[in-house]
Amino acid sequence: MEKARSAWRTSGSTATLRFDMNVYGHGHASQAVARMLSSVRVFLQSPDVDPRSALYENPQYLKLPDLPSTVIKSPTEFTGRGALAALSTETTRSEVEALFDQLQQSSFLRQISADKRVTTPLKEYQKEAVDFMTRRETGDLPPSLSLWQVHTTHGGLSCYQHVITGAKSSRVEDVLGGVLADDMGLGKTLSTLAVIVGSLDRALQFAVSGTDKPTTQWQSMVPSKATLVVVPSALLLDIWTEEIVRHIMPGTLRFYRYHGSRRHISLQDLLQYDVLLTTYATVAAEFCRGQSMLNHIEWFRVVLDEAHVIRNPSTKQFRAISSLAAHLRWCLTGTPIQNGVEDLGAIVKFLRVPLLLETPTFRKQITAAIQSNSPGRFAKLRRLLEALCLRRSKLLLNLPDPITVTHKIHFSGPERQMYNDYGDSCKRATNEAITDHSLRKANQIIIETILRMRLFCNQGSAALAGNWNSFGLPSDPQEALSYLQTSGKDAACAQCDSEIISMYQTGDRSSGVLTSCQHLLCGECRPNYEADLEDSVEDERAQCPICGQRGEKSTFILEPAKTSESPVPAAPTCSTKLLALLHHVQKQGAADKCVIFSFWKKTLDAIADIFTASGIPFHRIHGSLSARRRADVLADFEINPYIKVLLITFGTGAVGINKLVVANHIHIVEPQWNPSVESQAIGRILRLGQEKSVTIVRYIMKGTVEETVQSSQLRKLQLARGGFIGKDDEHTSQRIQEIMVSHIRPL
């Protein structure tokens, strides 16, 4: 308030004052108030303050007969500001989704045969996607799909009129590009690669003719024949690389991974390539440093993979991405609207759709129309989507829905006793730390306890006595990653911000390493980091380029112990959960094959011991296998009729992973802290090429922290707070106790 007032005083003009208003009153007046507010297009949102002192009801909230009449958030959620900015409700969202699924462009799409250099035969719907993309790029569209229509004035003159805004123009300004929004598994990557290969001549022409463009606008810009593909993670860089190698005739596409230390390349060298693969984080980081080579190039084409990640136009990342100069722009996404129609606004802005790219215009023309109650409120949106966007659903694959089974298992008596005793001792230790005002320590105890309890559910008592290194982390790298996932906002590379879900995997560039000062680095940034360390050496001591810590150069990057610390036990102890897994696998049909996923190597060690003792043959993917050896193992799993079981850690690199479609049973040994890790793994089996019906089996111990992990309550709390290890304040200490009581040691 004070700030706004002084701003107003100094500027002498008008000031915008944002305020939230809470409406209190008699219940019987609520309907009248609701009608009055609706008539001036004001809609009540959930309050930011806890309304526990009064009975809360939102009379504008849609009531469904089988739902409780008022869905109210729990008091802990009344902390986020900005609820007023949420423009669309859940009902609108599902209506828009339905609209997506009704788009009918197939009537005009042709199944054109792809370029011969695409060696994988395309499916019919992929050929249609290639046709759609090519025609959007060349402007060869039927009039019904253009955003402009011929308009004849009374005087007999004709001009063009925009079908959404109604603006008139003497020429058609259309966007070259669009959105490929096919469901996951329909091969958006392959379709896009086919378009890239099919347009190599056009690309070259663009690069050549662009050179002597007379306009001054791009004077400092160098035109390139390349398609810049931007993806959210290093793992996806691997997947694109793999797809190029798999589907395209060798030598057709020259491609380059512009990421990590490989960013040090000259502009001239960069211009040699047909495809450049990079991450959103790399584009954003270079943009912020203000010296981005990517911004000096006018790209023939920019493709955003998983384009829904740019849904917020106020972020640096969005500004960086939309500052890229490009002749053609594409967004690939299976979920074009995650939160609401505004997500689409960001995509429209990136595509630079003429007349609609400004956020206020988009709101006025599209969002506000939807929020009105008129019967044709979706007409403009439908028109826009039909012009820009191709979407087909997974139903095309004729894949039966996977059968999902969740086994909720009870501990044995001794296991329960041990689990509870451990929980009690951790609770005491936490309380002592809180009494000592050492909240940081209390947090660390909690994170360690969560991890140990999760491991206990799989591996039994052996998990409670794990080794810790002198830097305060579990000495097992994958467990250390779990610890960091739980304590930090997310486990991401300290230099390029790409998410890390596996550690120390040989030859896998998306896999991470850990430094003694507790930074995670992806394999691609590691050489860079080591070079910086080398440069910093003074008096035989190096300095960490991230946090400035000093030490002997060789001590910074931690290497996992080569040999396993404990010898394999003669008679493996078997937890109740792993016993249940064993029974399941033994009951598996003769024609079935299964893949067993766990996040932790030690859990897979324990499973391997049990399966060996029970005479079940299996293959196993180790992180320390070379990429070549890994491919051999996967190839054998595909064809060897005697091997029906594959053990694999989540986050194992993408190389050769398409062989997994031979399996039709997926066992997920424990719920994942980050749910996207799990869905990525499932997506590798439930994809194009899968011919059998798939069963997913999840194992969860009843009355344990696993139930909390599965419900992702803890993760939401963590994301909301920006990590558990935070400020030492009153609020934190309260929350710690709540977590302890409700999650770690349920009564």
The single residue among 522, 594, 645, 657 that binds Zn ion, judged by CB under 5 A, is 522
CB of 317 to Zn ion, least distance (A): 16
Residues 670/599, Cβ–Cβ less than 8 Å: yes
CB of 655 to Zn ion, least distance (A): 19
CB of 451 to Zn ion, least distance (A): 23
CB of 542 to Zn ion, least distance (A): 11
Site for Zn ion in 563-622 (CB under 5 A): none
Please tell me the distance from the alpha carbon of residue 297 to that of residue 292, in angstroms, as a whole number: 10
Task: Closer to Zn ion by CB, 208 or 547: give it.
Answer: 547
Site for Zn ion in 347-386 (CB under 5 A): none
Collect contacts of 717-720 with beta carbons under 8 A, ≥24 apart.
717/76, 718/486, 718/489, 719/489, 720/79, 720/80
Task: Closer to Zn ion by CB, 492 or 685: give it.
Answer: 492
Judged by CB under 5 A, the number of residues near Zn ion is 10
**544 forms part of the interface with Zn ion (CB under 5 A):** yes
DSSP string spanning 62-107? ---TTS-S-----GGGTT---GGG----HHHHHHHHHHHHH---TT
Task: Closer to Zn ion by CB, 87 or 546: give it.
Answer: 546
Nearest to 480 by CA among 547, 558, 426, 423: 558
Q: Looking at the DSSP assignment, which residues form a beta bridge with residue 148?
A: 162
The single residue among 546, 616, 631, 677 that binds Zn ion, judged by CB under 5 A, is 546
CB of 234 to Zn ion, least distance (A): 7
Task: Closer to Zn ion by CB, 355 or 546: give it.
Answer: 546
Phi, psi dihedral angles at 357 (to 5 degrees): -75, -20
Task: Closer to Zn ion by CB, 538 or 691: give it.
Answer: 538
CB of 421 to Zn ion, least distance (A): 37
569: left (phi over 0), alpha (psi -120 to 50) or beta: beta
Which residue stretch of 332-340, 380-388, 548-556, 665-673 sits at the interface with Zn ion (rule: CB under 5 A)? 548-556
**285 forms part of the interface with Zn ion (CB under 5 A):** no
Q: Tokens representing 264?
A: 């040090």
Burial of 722 (0-12, 13-18, 19+ CB in 10 A): exposed
Please tell me the distance from the alpha carbon of residue 37 to that of residue 57, in angstroms, as a whole number: 15
CB of 544 to Zn ion, least distance (A): 3
Task: Closer to Zn ion by CB, 134 or 549: give it.
Answer: 549
Which residue stretch of 87-95, 289-297, 299-307, 549-557 sits at the interface with Zn ion (rule: CB under 5 A)? 549-557
Evaluate the CA torsion angle 485, 490, 492, 495 in order and state its sign.
Answer: negative
The single residue among 159, 547, 561, 741 that binds Zn ion, judged by CB under 5 A, is 547
**525 forms part of the interface with Zn ion (CB under 5 A):** yes
CB of 680 to Zn ion, least distance (A): 18
CA atoms within 13 A on the CB side of 373: 4
CB of 264 to Zn ion, least distance (A): 14
Please tell me the distance from the alpha carbon of residue 398 to that of residue 693, in angstroms, as a whole number: 10
Task: Closer to Zn ion by CB, 181 or 521: give it.
Answer: 521
Please tell me the distance from the alpha carbon of residue 107 to that of residue 278, in angstroms, as a whole number: 36
Site for Zn ion in 482-521 (CB under 5 A): 493, 495-496, 517
- Residues 401-440, one symbol each (x = binds Zn ion by CB under 5 A, - = not), give ----------------------------------------
Centre a 10 Å sphere on the Cβ of residue 294 and count the other Cβ atoms it contains.
Answer: 23
Task: Closer to Zn ion by CB, 191 or 495: give it.
Answer: 495
Task: Closer to Zn ion by CB, 248 or 522: give it.
Answer: 522
Task: Closer to Zn ion by CB, 546 or 677: give it.
Answer: 546
Please tell me the distance from the alpha carbon of residue 467 to that of residue 560, in angstroms, as a whole number: 12
> Euclidean distance between the first and final Cα of the chain, in Å?
47
Binding interface with Zn ion (CB under 5 A): 493, 495-496, 517, 522, 525, 544, 546-547, 549
